[in-house]
Structure 1
Amino acid sequence: MSLSPESIVVSHQSLSEGDAALVASLLTTVNTLMQAGRTPGDIPGDALHGYYVDYYRAEMVSAGSIEFLHRAGRHPAVAEVVQNGLVAMSADSHAELCARIVTRWNELPLKAQRAVLRQPVFGANPARNEFRAFDEEFVALSAELDLIEANARWLRSHPFLVPLKAAELAEYLRG
């Protein structure tokens, strides 16, 4: 099977199953490729945009900006990929928030970052209060523009989206 190097591959079935199914199909494809040994450089950049925007969304929803920063901090390019993906999806307010979160984190001395990470995630925690305000802003922005919907809308309109039937998808993932 010959696809363009820019192809964003998803299951054909996911197109008719709603926004969450389409994004989940992209995540499954990218996860399977990574588990098979592909590096981010081997995966189309826009597929990574969709993938990491959902990663950001999931971290912000489940544990907030500190958890996103902690996990993404292991791979500093992730925040940039997220911001670029948000811009590509016309989620500019989300991109601006993400940029402010990352900028504020990077302004903290390493010792202060460690102190914030050592604090409990929930309950009284003065070191995390500034970042909780970012989390609250994320919730408000998400009420206006849901990132699953934005991601799916962007994917559906993407010129390199390639929906494959189950057998073709399995063949593609086997590489």
Structure 2
Amino acid sequence: MTPLRPSTIICPVLVFSASLWVYDVGQSQLYEVETAAILRAQRDTSPPETGSHVGDQAGTFGAAPIVSAEALASGDDQGVVESNFSVVDSLRDSKVPEREINQAALESRYVDFFYGEMVDGGFAQFVGESEWDSHTVAMVRKELLDLKAFKHLELFDDGAAMVAAIDPKELRQFINTSQPSSKDRVRKTLGLIDRQFFAVNDRESLVKLNATWLRQQPNLIALSPEAFRNELLGRGVYLPRRDKISVKS
């Protein structure tokens, strides 16, 4: 399953996501990036400068994470993380395979998905929404390690051990149930770590760690929504062949 962000994404993110809508590929000749900046990011990042095209290499999306220039300039951690989330999901919705998307951007997106599910409904909800997909689990775990969120990683491994102890048929039945009862045995078992998650997050804020990690990526790119649309158009992302490519290929 390809996990989606919970319904609780804040309005500004919805606005930014909507602004990434791309015109028909027949308009690709109009390709022209009006604003872009390559930031040699440090912990305290200065506002992005407008500049020329970010480059004509076909691998731009894989070479660097892309975030909203407005979010990066604002200094808002949540805005930076969620703008990366929106960019990655826009690429995936456009049938861009994960192998063509920057690894750091992907990892950030997966751990933010995990964070959102935990806040929205707890570990049981994360297991259900992700279907405990091995790819998703591996990406979340790797990013927790990269973020040096060691307390979160320890708790995540505790949760994984709980999942492993559940009978596979019972786990599959739980995952296939759209709205499991609060009395469901699997849900109650997995929910045991929820309070620990919030206590850990008070000491190791995943949003703050995630945003800082993104800002420190050496090739971080800040784009306006219009510039991002044009980058997609100019690279032929919307060619019909994309419809036949698996997102995880």
Q: TM-score, normalised by structure 1?
A: 0.88
Residue 65 of structure 2 corresponds to residue 5 of structure 1: no
Once residues 95 and 25 of structure 1 are traced to their aligned partners in structure 2, the CA distance between those partners, rounded to angstroms, is 24
In the alignment, which of 216, 224, 231 is matched to residue 172 of structure 1? 231
Write the distance in 2 (CA, Å) between the matches of 1:90 and 1:114: 32
* Map of 1:70 onto structure 2: 128
Q: Could you tell me whether the CA contact under 8 Å between 2:171 and 2:186 is conserved in 1? A: no
| Alignment partners' CA distance in 1, 2:231 and 2:195 | 40
The CA deviation at 1:141 is: 0.8
Displacement after TM superposition at 1:126 (Å): 4.4
**Residues 14 and 25 of structure 1 are in contact (CA less than 8 Å); yes or no, is this contact kept in structure 2?**
yes
What's the CA shift for 1:115?
5.5
State whether residues 10 and 164 of structure 1, in contact with CA within 8 Å, keep that contact through their aligned partners in structure 2.
yes
Residues 16-27 of structure 1 mapped to structure 2, 5 A cutoff: 16-17=73-74, 18-27=76-85
Distance 1:121 1:26, change over 3 A: farther
**Unpaired runs of at least 5, structure 2:** 1-54, 236-249
Indicate yes or no: 2:218 matched with 1:159.
yes
The amino acid across from 1:6 in the alignment is: A
CA spacing shift, 1:27–1:80, aligned 2, 3 Å: same
| TM-superposed deviation, 1:105 | 0.5
Whether contact under 8 Å (2:152, 2:200) holds in the other structure is yes
Distance 2:152 2:190 in 1: 15
Unaligned runs of 5+ in 1: none
Structure 2: how far apart are the matches of 1:103 and 1:32? 33
Percent of aligned positions that are identical:
25
Show CA shifts across 1:24-76 (max 9, x none).
11011101101111122221111110000000000111111112112222632
Seen in structure 2, the aligned counterparts of structure 1 residues 47 and 108 have a Cα distance that, compared at 3 Å, is: same
Deviation at 1:77, TM superposition (A): 0.7
Q: Highest Rg: 1 or 2?
A: 2
Secondary structure, counterpart of 1:169 in structure 2? helix
1:84-95 matches, within 5 Å, as: 84-95=142-153
Measured in 1, the distance between the counterparts of 2:85 and 2:186 equals 33
Alignment check: 8 A CA contact 1:23 1:151 kept: yes
How many residues are aligned here? 174
Corresponding letter in the other structure for 1:140 = A
How far off is 1:4 after superposition? 7.1
- Tell me which of 41, 44, 61 is aligned to 2:119: 61
| Structure 1 segment 2-151 matched on structure 2, within 5 A | 2=56, 3=60, 5-17=62-74, 18-73=76-131, 75-114=133-172, 116-117=174-175, 118=177, 120-122=180-182, 124-151=183-210
User: What residue is the counterpart of 2:19 in the other structure?
Assistant: none
Q: Quick one: distance in 2 between partners of 1:82 and 1:135?
A: 17
Deviation at 1:114, TM superposition (A): 4.0
Q: CA RMSD in A?
A: 2.1
**Structure 1 or 2: more helix by fraction:** 1
Residues 73-111 of structure 1, C-alpha deviations (whole Å, 9 max, x = no match): 263210110011111111111122112212320232213
* Partner secondary structure for residue 207 of structure 2: helix
